[in-house]
């Protein structure tokens, strides 16, 4: 009835966050139930409202928490100008693919659900966290594409690369089918995306440079 462990109770908040991330990433906001989260966290049903005020607030906190954890685990490549741009590109691609492929990385899973089926609850949080990532990508691409390529093309290229990197997630769920053995070897996929994109980038750069006198 009352097996209270004080040390544990101090961590209830954190346990709730971890449980929430798992459940939200598996089921999405609506399908996840507070009861399930609390049970998984070994806490009372009222714990969510006590610690976070509402399911919605927990959702926001959980994503933010997961996002920060994710960044810790897969740090964005250092924008060290001394690195050759090619290496930088590969590091960038690897960083995204790793984060996306890491089955422990629920943050991306939540983000993905949110994008495809928005609750609107993460709009601000996401904006706030993702904008810098986007800008870094475009900055790197500007270096790789050179000065003659128009802005539009830079953005399109950024989309091309990010799309390929995020793709594993798209089919992650279909794991039951063997479709996803496709990307079984994550490193090989990174190599592919790197090569495929580098060639594309170089070709586009050449196209616009040849135009110039």
Partner DNA sequence: AATGAATGAGCCTTCATTCAT
Partner DNA sequence: GATGAATGAAGGCTCATTCAT
Binding site for a second copy (CB under 8 A): 27-28, 30-31, 112-113, 115-118, 123, 127, 134, 152-153, 155-157, 159-160, 162-164, 166-167, 169-171, 173-174, 176-177, 179, 182-183, 185, 188-189, 192-193, 195-204, 207
Q: How far apart are CA 125 and CA 122, in angstroms?
A: 5
- Return the number of the residue (35 or 130) whose C-beta is nearest DNA: 35
Q: Which residues have a Cβ under 8 Å from the Cβ of 7 and sit 6 or more positions away?
A: none
Pick 75 or 207: Cβ nearer a second copy? 207
What's the CA gap between 69 and 131, in Å, rounded? Answer: 18
- Min dist CB 166 to a second copy, Å, is 7
Least distance (Å) from DNA to the CB of residue 125? 17
Nearest-angstrom CA–CA distance, 6 and 50: 17
Question: Nearest distance from residue 125's CB to a second copy, in Å?
Answer: 13
Query: Which C-beta is closer to DNA: that of 60 or that of 192?
Result: 60
User: Contact positions toward DNA, by CB under 7 A?
Assistant: 1-6, 8-13, 32-36, 43-51, 53-56
Q: How far is the CB of 172 from a second copy (least distance, A)?
A: 9
């Amino acid at each position: 009835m009352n097996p209270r462990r004080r040390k544990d109770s101090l961590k209830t908040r954190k346990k709730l966050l971890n449980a929430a991330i798992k459940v939200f990433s598996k089921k999405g906001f609506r399908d996840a139930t507070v009861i399930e989260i609390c049970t998984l966290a070994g806490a009372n049903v009222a714990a969510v409202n006590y610690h976070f005020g509402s399911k919605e607030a927990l959702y926001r906190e959980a994503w933010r928490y997961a996002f920060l954890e994710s960044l810790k685990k897969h740090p964005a490549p250092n924008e060290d100008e001394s690195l050759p741009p090619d290496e930088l590109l590969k590091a960038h691609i690897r960083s995204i693919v790793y984060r996306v492929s890491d089955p422990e990385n629920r943050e991306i899973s939540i983000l993905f659900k949110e994008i495809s089926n928005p609750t609107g609850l993460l709009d601000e949080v996401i904006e706030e966290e993702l904008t810098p990532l986007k800008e870094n990508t475009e900055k790197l691409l500007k270096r790789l594409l050179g000065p003659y390529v128009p802005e539009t093309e830079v953005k399109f290229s950024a989309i091309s690369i990010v799309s390929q990197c995020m793709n594993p997630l798209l089919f992650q769920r279909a794991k039951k089918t063997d479709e996803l053995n496709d990307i079984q070897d994550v490193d090989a996929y990174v190599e592919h995306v790197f090569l495929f994109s580098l060639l594309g980038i170089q070709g586009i750069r050449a196209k616009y440079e040849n135009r110039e006198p």
